[in-house]
């Protein structure tokens, strides 16, 4: 009996791990879920989940703007690991984004492309930074390819 319980627990653990890593199912079913999942992965410093939610090669092409907010000059990332490190741990973007209130707003879907409005609110300075995250379907999953800051 104990052996069956142990096998059952092991199978449940494997299913949970596969679900968390995105190997089971098709990933987030809508763009807003992908953005919410991204913030959850950032909070837990889960780079593997971020790699499944982001279109890292496309994010590396963004060289004219910095998505960390409040920076005058854009940073340039030379490899995907730098982006993942920037969004986790003590990364500048994670520190800035998580120091502000995040409000996830409207989603606009056109075919296999979408935008999700995200507003970062600095209550102390009474300022808000409106952004639109760009997403597209890649390999059957919604992936974030842009953190466009709006004026």
Asked whether residue 52 carries a pLDDT value surpassing 80, the answer given is: yes
Q: pLDDT tens-digit profile of 88-126?
A: 999 999 999 999 999 999 999 999 999 999 999 999 888
Asked whether residue 24 carries a pLDDT value surpassing 70, the answer given is: no
Torsion angle, alpha carbons of 79, 28, 140, 77, to 10? -10
Q: Where are the alpha helices (DSSP H) in 21-91?
A: 31-43, 47-53, 56-60, 80-86
Q: What is the pLDDT at residue 88?
A: 97
Cα separation, 5 vs 108, whole angstroms: 46
Cα separation, 54 vs 134, whole angstroms: 10
Q: Are 142 and 26 in contact (CB under 8 A)?
A: no
Q: pLDDT tens-digit profile of 26-41?
A: 456 899 999 999 999 9
Sign of CA dihedral 50, 54, 56, 60: negative
Domain boundaries, the chain: 27-149
- 27-149 topology per CATH: Nuclear Transport Factor 2; Chain: A, (3.10.450)
């Amino acid at each position: 009996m104990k052996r069956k319980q142990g096998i059952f627990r092991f199978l449940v653990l494997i299913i949970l791990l596969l679900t968390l890593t995105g190997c089971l199912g098709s990933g987030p079913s809508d763009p807003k879920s992908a953005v919410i999942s991204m913030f959850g992965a950032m909070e837990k410093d889960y780079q593997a989940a971020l790699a499944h939610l982001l279109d890292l090669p496309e994010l590396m092409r963004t060289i004219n703007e910095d998505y960390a907010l409040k920076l005058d000059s854009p940073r340039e990332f030379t490899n995907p690991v730098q982006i993942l490190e920037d969004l986790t741990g003590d990364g500048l973007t994670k520190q800035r984004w998580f120091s502000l209130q995040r409000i996830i707003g409207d989603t606009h879907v056109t075919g296999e492309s979408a935008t999700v409005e995200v507003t970062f609110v600095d209550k102390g300075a009474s300022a808000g930074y409106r952004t639109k995250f760009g997403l597209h379907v890649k390999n059957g999953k919604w992936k974030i390819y842009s953190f466009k800051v709006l004026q």
